[in-house]
Structure 1
Amino acid sequence: MSFQRPVARAPMTIGLLGGSFDPPHAGHVHITNQALRRFGLDRVWWLVSPGNPLKTRGPAPMDRRLAASRALLRDPRVTVTDIEARIGTRYTARTIRKLQHLYPGVRFVWLMGADNLSQFDRWQEWQWIMNNVPVGVLARPGDRIAARLSRPARLYRHARLDGRESRLLARTTAPAWCFVNVPMVALSSTMIRKKGDWNADTGTS
């Protein structure tokens, strides 16, 4: 009698897309879809934050932002969560540490737009993030050159995967990051608020 050797299952890979989502829009959905495809992710979690520590103005109420985010999504692989509020973290590094503790069998990938990479070195413990989770960077209009010349990109150039290797990112040991150029939707939450389509102060649109 022969026995078949059991096949070890690869850990689930989850991309983390953090932000205030104030408001969420089609651009967020688009980069989420691109991240799932380009980085070979099993899931993406939208981490709707209580507030951005780098911004002085508070966002719209959490319940409103969660409901608006969920109304946009149709893909069952994408989850909208307020876990940062529930576990009491505001900074990305602390959130990732907590998630790694809570879900030890999951491989997390931090996702960001190229605009965030340009000022990533302003984030608390940004080098810890780079050294402990793979980072997927998705190009946004007007931010590609600045992102590629940024201090984080220069300091971690040895850890960059070529765009053609993007599907390996989730399985690569940190530090590892990958910059991909994707067709982008030229929308931003700031643009929508300025047009008056989403009034964060009064909770009306």
Structure 2
Amino acid sequence: MPPGDAGLTVGLFGGSFNPPHDGHFHVALTALRRLGLHRIWWLVTPGNPLKDHSELEALEARVAAVRRLADHPRFTVTAFEATEGLSYSADTIAFLKRRRPGVRFVWVMGADNLAGFHRWQFWRQIVETLPIAIVDRPGASLSPLSAPMAEVYRHARVAEEEAGDFACRPAPAWTFLHAPLNPLSSTLLRQHGPMRQDA
């Protein structure tokens, strides 16, 4: 698990990254810059419990691919969830809060994940534990208006122009960050083969 001193602000960007691509880099960099975070930790998961694993590359291969993509001095790539036996994001967050109590964490995800966020294990616990930053993705711009999470926590939405100190805000708090859209997706890459992944 990455080190974390007290006062550090860290965006947690989790996913199977099967494979990682420029769209992922775009989400991470947008969150880093717009939220004024010190670091982004890329959490390469053993596999999404809600997805089919039949086409899932080995964890070691995905970690290596993410490290090649996430070539930035303030990005850290880790797969500690596998070694700690953590399967669900809520458990990962609880573990990190215990092990790194002085770090201020923000959950970072692309907007394409928002529509199904209410199907995540203990999703309300996640929202009530740390701020959530949602970065716009192609085809997902209307999600904040219609997703169950957004409806339930409408009162907790923070305007993006007020999100510069987002890591210091008490949960529940979520913000939607608009940014130039990158159309790449892992599904597209698996269907059509490798595409340019430098950033």
* Count of residues in correspondence between the two structures: 190
Alignment match of 2:113 (pick from 109, 116, 129)? 116
Deviations 1:7-50 (A, max 9, x none): xx971110000000000111111111111011111100000000
Q: Does 1:33 align with 2:26?
A: no
CA distance in 1 between partners of 2:8 and 2:99 (Å): 14
In the other structure, the counterpart of 1:47 is 43
Contact 2:144 2:176 in 1 (8 A): no
Deviation at 1:185, TM superposition (A): 1.1
Bigger-Rg structure (1/2): 1
Q: Alignment partner of 1:144: what SS? A: coil
Contact 2:6 2:103 in 1 (8 A): no
Q: Does 1:173 align with 2:164?
A: no
Contact 1:138 1:182 in 2 (8 A): yes
CA distance in 1 between partners of 2:6 and 2:87 (Å): 30
Q: Alignment partner of 1:70: what SS? A: helix
Aligned identity (percent) is 48
Deviation at 1:180, TM superposition (A): 1.1
CA distance in 2 between partners of 1:141 and 1:30 (Å): 12
| Structure 2 stretches lacking a partner, 5+ long | none
Output the aligned Cα RMSD: 1.4
Alignment match of 1:127 (pick from 124, 128, 133)? 124
Contact 1:166 1:180 in 2 (8 A): no
Letter paired with 2:71: R
In the other structure, the counterpart of 1:192 is 189
CA distance in 2 between partners of 1:194 and 1:86 (Å): 30
Alignment match of 1:14 (pick from 10, 32, 42)? 10
CA distance in 2 between partners of 1:56 and 1:70 (Å): 24
- Residues 10, 196 of structure 1: alpha-carbon distance in 2 compared, 3 angstrom cutoff: closer
Letter paired with 1:194: Q
- Residues 10, 97 of structure 1: alpha-carbon distance in 2 compared, 3 angstrom cutoff: closer
Deviations 1:173-201 (A, max 9, x none): 00001011111211000000001339xxx
Q: Alignment partner of 1:79: what SS? A: strand
In the other structure, the counterpart of 1:155 is 152
Give the TM-score normalised by the residue count of structure 2: 0.92
49-58 or 122-131, larger mean C-alpha shift: 49-58
In the other structure, the counterpart of 2:142 is 145
CA distance in 2 between partners of 1:197 and 1:36 (Å): 26
Deviations 1:38-82 (A, max 9, x none): 111110000000011001224100111011111112211100100
| Structure 1 stretches lacking a partner, 5+ long | 1-8, 199-205
Contact 1:161 1:177 in 2 (8 A): yes
Deviation at 1:154, TM superposition (A): 0.8
Q: Alignment partner of 1:161: what SS? A: coil
